[in-house]
């Protein structure tokens, strides 16, 4: 079993899905009346995009095809995508394979879609249709089929992500619109804005090409996309250091070489100023500043806000000693005792495993410790870029902080222990910086931070919580990426 500590960028999957151009379902809310309706004339397209880290380090390719298709007298197109990426996470090579397709009607917009994601032995597949009363889909994970329904009104269209629209009209300078978006990681709806901000001549495959520049803002993060008059994407840049650019098919197939010299986590590292940090600290005081806007981090008895703006004191709490009968939490904890599409706490396999692990422990803290110990000893710690599904983690027996946290949460809730997810940063002695991370909290007369990934029954004071909640809250993390600075004022 890999024992190396493994903090991981919790929002990595958001970036990957956004980057690989799949899964955004859009409802336009037009600001400019002159923009035509959702329908567009289908044409054959075959586009290859190279994916690069800073310094032009290649990590893979994206291949998108659009083929005209007539179905039952209705014109439209079949859009297919293949993405093959390889990331260096903590000096381990992590592969990501994604396949997707969609049927887009010329008059009706998105009609049906499917995609699958494979990484590190984990897999997730989603098939869906868009009907009059909303989006209906089936999530396939851990050998199970889980239904999903979301209400969507108005025109629904498919985006190829990163602001690279597969069936949107060409914008003129100064035009903009906003849209509802579907995030396949959290299986929830969000909102994005696209603006045409100017024109620029850039070099593409050795030739100068006239393009229009779009800015795409989603979940508080803005990227830039360069498109031709035919709405073909030739370049895209994110604030996280990823770059996409159009290449030939031969060049694209040579890009996934595994020859990276810089690990992905280095892009998200936060090098603090002030006092020297060390793992195992009992108390830490930090000042958080950001180049962008973000909601103030949550507070509780472990993380308290000081009078100074942006300053927080984190104190590792004592181990709970008071007996609390398991399964006696009041109705105010109902949200922390039930599951959802990816935290399947009511599933028979999760319930059976929780019962097996907890055994005869009637005390809440003793039961939580048994779950913690089982996860730390039995879930292999390995980098994975996946949709973190509790059933899938239970079946595969491997993953990093996302997988540990989701499975722990599902098992604990199945055992009657109120549990929520914390998302933030944690210090790594090995990597000498703060890295984005997730961990569970259990309620034992108070919320207690636990750490089944790093082997701490009670999480140390080098954890800084930025967001509290379930998976649906995770997209909020990307507002911090590349924007957060940390000053360590006290450490003991």
pLDDT in tens, 2-32: 333 333 333 333 333 333 333 333 322 333 3
pLDDT digits (tens, 9 = 90+) for 49-67: 888 877 777 888 888 888 8
Q: What integer best gives the mean pLDDT of the chain?
A: 78
pTM for the model stands at 0.72
Rg from Cα positions in the chain: 23
475/295 Cα distance (integer angstroms): 13
pLDDT digits (tens, 9 = 90+) for 309-339: 899 999 999 999 989 999 889 999 999 999 8
* 256, 81 Cβ separation under 8 angstroms: no
Token pair recorded at residue 38: 């959702």
Q: Which residue has the tokens 């009670």?
A: 458
Say yes or no to pLDDT of 40 above 50: no
DSSP state of 301: S
Q: How buried is residue 175: exposed, middle or buried, by Cβ count under 10 Å (0-12/13-18/19+)?
A: middle
Closest by Cα among 418, 473, 408, 480 to 443: 418
User: Which long-range contacts link 457-461 to residues 24+ away (Cβ below 8 Å)?
Assistant: 457/319, 457/369, 457/372, 458/316, 458/317, 458/318, 458/319, 459/316, 460/279, 460/280, 460/281, 460/282, 460/316, 461/281, 461/282, 461/283, 461/284, 461/314, 461/315, 461/316
Sequential DSSP letters for 67-90: EEEEETTEEEEEEEEEEEEEEEET
Share of the chain above pLDDT 70, in %: 75
- Give me the torsion for CA of 471, 475, 476, 477, rounded to 10°: 90
Out of 159-173, 224-238, 431-445, least confident range = 159-173
Q: How confident is the model at residue 221 (pLDDT cuts 50, 70, 90)?
A: low
Q: Which residue has the tokens 């006239």?
A: 210
User: Where is mean pLDDT largest: 99-113, 419-433, 455-469?
Assistant: 455-469
103/39 Cα distance (integer angstroms): 13
Q: How confident is the model at residue 164 (pLDDT cuts 50, 70, 90)?
A: very low
Out of 120-129, 241-250, 422-431, least confident range = 120-129
CATH number of 269-491: 3.10.620.30
Token pair recorded at residue 362: 């009637």
| Domain regions of the chain by residue span | 13-262, 269-491
The stretch 80-89 carries a mean pLDDT of 75
H-run or E-run covering 189 = strand 188-204
Length of the chain: 492
270/465 Cα distance (integer angstroms): 14
* 394, 402 Cβ separation under 8 angstroms: no
Say yes or no to pLDDT of 179 above 70: no
pLDDT at site 176: 80
Say yes or no to pLDDT of 144 above 90: no
pLDDT at site 35: 35
pLDDT at site 266: 54
49/236 Cα distance (integer angstroms): 10
Share of the chain above pLDDT 90, in %: 32
Pairing of strands 380-381, 398-399: parallel
The stretch 174-197 carries a mean pLDDT of 68
Token pair recorded at residue 82: 């293949």
Say yes or no to pLDDT of 120 above 70: no
The stretch 366-381 carries a mean pLDDT of 95
* 163, 242 Cβ separation under 8 angstroms: no
pLDDT digits (tens, 9 = 90+) for 261-300: 444 555 567 889 999 999 999 999 999 998 766 778 999 9
115/489 Cα distance (integer angstroms): 46
């Amino acid at each position: 079993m890999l024992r190396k500590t493994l903090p991981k960028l919790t929002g990595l999957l958001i970036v990957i899905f956004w980057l690989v151009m799949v899964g955004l379902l859009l409802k336009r809310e037009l600001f400019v009346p002159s923009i035509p309706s959702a329908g567009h004339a289908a044409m054959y397209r075959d586009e290859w995009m190279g994916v690069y880290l800073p310094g032009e380090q290649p990590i893979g390719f994206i291949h998108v095809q659009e083929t005209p298709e007539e179905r039952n007298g209705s014109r439209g197109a079949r859009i297919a995508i293949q993405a093959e990426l390889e990331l260096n996470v903590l000096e381990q090579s992590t592969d990501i394979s994604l396949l997707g397709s969609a049927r887009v009607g010329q008059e009706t917009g998105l009609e049906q879609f499917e995609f699958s994601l494979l990484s590190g032995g984990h897999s997730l597949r989603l098939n869906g249709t868009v009907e009059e009363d909303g989006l209906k889909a089936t999530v396939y994970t851990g050998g199970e089929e889980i239904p999903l329904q979301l209400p969507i009104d108005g025109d629904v269209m498919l985006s190829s992500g990163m602001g690279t629209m597969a069936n949107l009209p060409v914008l003129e300078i100064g035009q903009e619109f906003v849209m509802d978006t579907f995030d396949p990681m959290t299986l929830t709806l969000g909102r994005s804005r696209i603006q045409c901000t100017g024109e620029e001549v850039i070099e593409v495959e050795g030739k100068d090409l006239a393009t229009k520049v779009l800015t795409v803002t989603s979940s508080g993060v803005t990227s830039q996309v360069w498109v031709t008059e035919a709405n073909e994407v030739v370049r895209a840049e994110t604030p996280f250091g990823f770059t996409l650019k159009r290449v030939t098919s031969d060049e694209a197939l040579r890009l996934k070489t595994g020859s990276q010299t810089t690990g992905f986590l280095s892009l998200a590292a936060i090098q603090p100023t002030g006092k020297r940090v060390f793992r195992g600290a009992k108390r830490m005081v930090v000042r958080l500043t950001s180049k962008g806007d973000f909601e103030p981090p949550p507070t509780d008895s472990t993380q308290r806000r000081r009078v100074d703006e942006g300053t927080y004191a984190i104190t590792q709490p004592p181990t709970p000693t008071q007996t609390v009968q398991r399964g006696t939490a009041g109705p105010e904890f109902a949200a922390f005792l039930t599951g959802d599409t990816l935290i399947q706490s009511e599933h028979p396999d999760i319930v059976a495993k929780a019962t097996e692990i907890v055994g005869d422990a009637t005390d809440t803290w003793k039961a939580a410790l048994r779950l913690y110990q089982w996860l730390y000893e039995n879930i292999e710690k390995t980098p994975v870029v996946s949709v973190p599904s509790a059933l899938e983690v239970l079946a595969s027996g491997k993953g990093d902080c996302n997988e540990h946290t989701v499975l722990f949460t599902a098992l604990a809730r199945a055992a009657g222990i109120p549990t929520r997810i914390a998302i933030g940063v944690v210090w790594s002695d090995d990597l000498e910086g703060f890295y984005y991370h997730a961990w569970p909290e259990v309620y034992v007369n108070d919320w207690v931070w636990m750490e089944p990934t790093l082997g701490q029954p009670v999480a140390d004071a080098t954890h800084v919580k930025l967001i509290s909640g379930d998976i649906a809250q995770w997209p909020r993390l990307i507002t911090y990426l590349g924007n957060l600075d940390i000053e360590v004022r006290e450490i003991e």
